[in-house]
Amino acid sequence: MQFPDSVAHLVQLDFPLAPSLWLGIGGPARYYAEPTNREELVTLATWAVQEGIPVRILGGGSNVLAREAGVDGLVLSLAASPLSQLAINDTRLTAGGGTKLSHAVTHAVGAGLGGLEHLLGIPGTVGGALAGNASADGRDIGLVTAEIELLQIDGRLVTIRGDEAQFSHRRSGLAGMTILQATFQLDRRDPLALTKRMQKLWIVRGAARPTDVSRIAMPFVDPDGATAERLIADIGLAGIREGGASLNVEHPHFLVADANATSQDCLRLIDRVREQVLLQTGIDLQTNLQIW
């Protein structure tokens, strides 16, 4: 496959994905690239679409489960710093799609801007948070989203208002599009008070996740009015195991992958939990993971 000359040097073949994913599972990407600026990202994504090559965007890797067979397409990483820039203009914060959400939160708090601090501790990137309408303490990121710049699947660049993104509970209408950057409308607050609140949240959120394991992911979306953790614990599924994959005993909304875990172990576990929760509570848990 002949990539455009301007970006061909960025493309790697059969690139191992597992080290970049929180679960540490998955085969290689047929094509992989880490564009160093917006122009390269647009060129790569647009060319791939024109050639009929599927494109997947890799952010922080916290919610991706890749199969051992690998990804037969182009995986674009947004890890390069030019795609993760932050800028403040009065009470507006603009963040690149590849920016870590935690960095956007701390940058806003440091500038005395409130509206994102409740999202501290949620893993992943700004782009991923927008695509899944990340939420905590009853408030989601869509509430403070003013504008989003997108690369559509047909290669066009568009900017939409936040209210055009079809935000709903842990969902948005941004699937299939690459989020280049977003602007958030925040409000002035006391920086010291914001910092203290952020520190408290960090302690609380840190205590609510496993600390003795590294290969973890949150496989389920909290349903409206409940939490996946509570539902799973109440019906006795904490610690349930399928092969090398299990739910953490103390924090059963986390999936833990052992060194020998496979993608099929994880998928079987997820299906088993969803089936039991639906059977015993009538609630159909939705998956938080992207299955590649």
State pLDDT tens for residues 249-284.
Answer: 999 999 999 999 999 999 999 999 999 999 999 999
Strands in 52-203 per DSSP E: 55-58, 64-65, 71-77, 86-89, 92-96, 113-114, 135-136, 139-140, 145-151, 157-161, 178-185, 187-188
Rounded distance between C-alpha atoms, residue 141 and residue 115, angstroms: 8
Q: Which of these is catalytic: 30, 38, 67, 170?
A: 170
**Where do the structural domains in the chain lie, given as residue ranges?**
8-81, 84-206, 216-291
Report which of 174, 180, 103 is spatially closest to residue 142, judged by C-alpha positions: 174
Total number of residues shown for the chain: 292
pLDDT of residue 204: 74
- Predicted confidence (pLDDT) at residue 154 exceeds the cutoff of 80: no
CATH number of 8-81: 3.30.43.10
Does the CA dihedral 25-31-35-39 come out positive or negative?
negative
In whole angstroms, give the CA distance from residue 185 to residue 200.
24
CA angle 125, 126, 129 (to 5 degrees): 85
Q: Which of residues 277 and 213 earns the better pLDDT score?
A: 277
Active-site annotation holds for 170: yes
What is the distance between the alpha carbons of residues 6 and 33, in angstroms, rounded to a whole number? Answer: 13
pTM of the model: 0.84
CATH architecture designation of domain 216-291: Alpha-Beta Complex (3.90)
Q: Higher confidence at residue 124 or residue 207?
A: 124
| pLDDT higher than 90, residue 118 | no
Class for the domain spanning 84-206: alpha beta
